[in-house]
A = this chain, B = another copy of it.
Amino acid sequence: MTPAHRSPEDHPAAVLIAPDIIALLEENPGDIQTETEELHPADLADVAELLPFDKVVPFLLALPPARAADLLEYLNEDLRTEVFEALDPEAAAVLIEQMTPDDRTDVLEELDEEHAGEILDEVGDETRRETEQLLRFDPQTAGGLMTTEFVSVPANTTVEEALERVRALAREGRREAMYAVYATDEEGRLVGVLSLRELLAAPPGGVLGDAAWTEVVNVLPSADREEVARVTANYGLVAVPVVSESGHIMGVVTVDDVIDVIQEEQTEDVQKMGGMEALDESYMEAGVGAMVRKRAGWLSVLFIGGLLTATAIHHFESELEKAILLLAFIPLIISSGGNSGSQATSLIIRAMALGEVKLADWWRVAFRELRSGLLLGAILGTLGVVRVVVWHMAGWNDYGEHFWFVGLTIGAALLGVVTFGSFVGAMLPFILRRLGLDPASASAPFVATLVDVTGLLIYFSVALLILRGRLL
């Protein structure tokens, strides 16, 4: 997983170092390793992102493969893909071999199949087998997120032996997900977990199985990545074991990948809520063409939905001609409905994303929103009456002899539209979810368009009811 893109402004160190690296690449590439020795791999990745593209590969090759692999874990995903496309399969294989299994999979998924195959042919048998297995999982699931490096030992191992095992693996430089040690039974099924801290605290003579927690929070490999994020957040974990139906531990999802998932999901939700398809890349990196494509679809759909407002108004044109003053309030009334709907939708989408509200809660939410909608509608309705009556009495607008009824019409329409907007806005995410769609697709513009059309109908009906025989 690639972390969020970091701008050079945030990293003056990288900005300062990049020119030195360019000079060293020309004159003395051998010094690059010592020059960058103390940099965090994330900063090393920043340096790489600041270099001209033709210097990135030489820079990587000037680093020891393990450091280069560390750098690649933090590198911008697009740049990383370009780097691997530029490398010959042998050099790529050396780096791939050094990466963690989950990052390895992430890299290969982005490459075209042929090139990925060529690289896999060059890596060792064990790595290849393991990688091919991981590539079979959907990247949106726990299986697609997990690393296969973790420490598991039989439950009857002594604490001291388990600790020695951990130390030996750590010394080999293998970067296992070393936050916890998992205990297995004779059939290799997961039966316990002990954090590294608890392992260090456990009585040395004891057996792992006695010290371990037997209720292990875990997820299935097929679990959606949002579910993985929820479990990690709720239990405050740094690593979640991925366990097969048969009870065998297959891998571990680590918290850094979970944070990436949370942020990516959130970006998708925000973009959908803004009434567009998820962009899937950072704003500045997306081309204008790609961006217009992601936006034009929804915008056109909303436009076509909006056409119904024209039809509705055409339908009432003869009444409106008699009372052209009613016109002036159309945008105000339908926007108020859209705004209250957008509030309700945002509340429910977020509550669903956090798991605070379930599908089964729909009727409780409906009831809440009806009450909130009525209250909010009463507030705006009062403001509407005040607008008409005060403006009329002050002589700023002339609403005729029936101005009290005009005010009442505006007020009642607002009460109806705002109540309806809150209700529809709150129910829409439930309907989408029930249909198996993403509730976040219930964007503010979507709700607004839906409420625009019905809002007009409510307004005109109220007007006919109150003003017939007076103005209409």
Question: Which residues A286-310 have CB closer than 8 A to chain B?
Answer: 288, 291-292, 295-296, 298-300, 302-304, 306-307, 309-310
Binary contact track A246-287/B, C-beta < 8 Å → 1, others 0: 000000000110111011001101110111100100111000
Binary contact track A292-336/B, C-beta < 8 Å → 1, others 0: 100110111011101101110110010011001101111110111
Q: For the complex, what is the distance from the CA of A375 to the CA of B295, rounded to whole Å?
A: 10
Give the residues in chain B near A325, CB-CB below 8 Å. 314, 317
Question: Which residues A149-196 have CB closer than 8 A to chain B?
Answer: 163, 166-167, 170-171, 173, 175-176, 178-179, 196
Q: For the complex, what is the distance from the CA of A345 to the CA of B283, rounded to whole Å?
A: 12
Give the residues in chain B near A39, CB-CB below 8 Å. 215
* Closest chain B CB from A448 CB (angstroms): 6
Give the residues in chain B near A26, CB-CB below 8 Å. none
- Contacting residue for A274 out of B163, B256, B347, CB 8 A: B347
Residue A351 interfacial (CB < 8 Å): yes
Q: For the complex, what is the distance from the CA of A134 to the CA of B163, rounded to whole Å?
A: 35
Residue A393 interfacial (CB < 8 Å): no
Give the residues in chain B near A34, CB-CB below 8 Å. none
Contact A269 B267 (CB under 8 A): no
- Contacting residue for A340 out of B176, B217, B260, B299, CB 8 A: B299
Give the residues in chain B near A118, CB-CB below 8 Å. none
Contact A270 B173 (CB under 8 A): no
Q: Which residue on chain B has the smallest CB distance to residue A379?
A: B296
Q: Which residue on chain B has the smallest CB distance to residue A195?
A: B178
Q: For the complex, what is the distance from the CA of A227 to the CA of B328, rounded to whole Å?
A: 47
Binary contact track A1-36/B, C-beta < 8 Å → 1, others 0: 001111101100000000000000000000000000
Contact B355 A5 (CB under 8 A): yes
* Closest chain B CB from A287 CB (angstroms): 10
Q: A309-B332, A313-B327, A338-B445 are in contact. Are A343 and B299 (CB under 8 A)?
A: yes
Q: A200-B167, A299-B340, A456-B331 are in contact. Are A355 and B7 (CB under 8 A)?
A: yes
Contact B196 A299 (CB under 8 A): no
Residue A111 interfacial (CB < 8 Å): no
Contact B332 A306 (CB under 8 A): yes
Contact A238 B236 (CB under 8 A): no
- Contacting residue for A270 out of B295, B350, B368, CB 8 A: B350
Contact A273 B270 (CB under 8 A): yes
Residue of A197, A279, A307 with most partner-chain B CB within 10 A: A197
Given contacts A295-B376, A307-B387, 10 further A-B contacts (CB under 8 A): A3-B234, A166-B200, A274-B342, A283-B350, A283-B351, A292-B376, A295-B340, A299-B336, A299-B343, A300-B383
Mark A residues whose CB is within 8 Å of B: 3-7, 9-10, 38-40, 42-43, 73-74, 163, 166-167, 170-171, 173, 175-176, 178-179, 196-198, 200-201, 213-215, 217, 230, 232-238, 255-256, 258-260, 262-263, 266-267, 269-271, 273-276, 279, 282-284, 288, 291-292, 295-296, 298-300, 302-304, 306-307, 309-311, 313-314, 317, 320-321, 324-325, 327-332, 334-336, 338-340, 342-351, 354-358, 360-361, 364-365, 368, 371-372, 375-376, 379-380, 383-384, 387, 397, 418, 443-445, 448-449, 452, 456
**Interchain residue pairs with CB less than 8 A apart (22):** A5-B356, A6-B234, A9-B360, A10-B355, A42-B234, A43-B215, A179-B238, A271-B347, A273-B444, A276-B346, A276-B347, A283-B350, A283-B356, A284-B356, A292-B372, A292-B376, A298-B339, A304-B383, A310-B328, A327-B327, A331-B331, A331-B334
| Closest 5 pairs between A and B when the two form their complex, measured CB to CB | A274-B346, A170-B201, A444-B444, A236-B256, A283-B351
